[in-house]
Structure 1
């Protein structure tokens, strides 16, 4: 993949100081793999990272 740009935004959830919403967006140009394969790879990487962060903050 080339030209990968990702953005993570964390927002407070109104009415509950213990909850946040995370928005993730990204764009890329797939190379040497299908778009679906790269989406699955990147989604897995971010998902694993967010799960680890959640465990660390719990």
Structure 2
């Protein structure tokens, strides 16, 4: 996506097998964040300020 000119990426931190089953996997989002230089937006299982904080870390 980045090489194609995307300005940001939204990542839903679950695998295809997990589908909607909780919990989100922050390591998937972290791996994408480390692999690109554009902003990464985390998505999935954000139900509170605490869960949002966990994904930001």
> Shorter-chain TM-score category?
0.3 to 0.5
Tell me: higher relative CO, structure 1 or 2? Use CA pairs within 8 A at least 6 residues apart.
Answer: 2
Greater strand proportion: 1
Higher radius of gyration, 1 or 2:
1
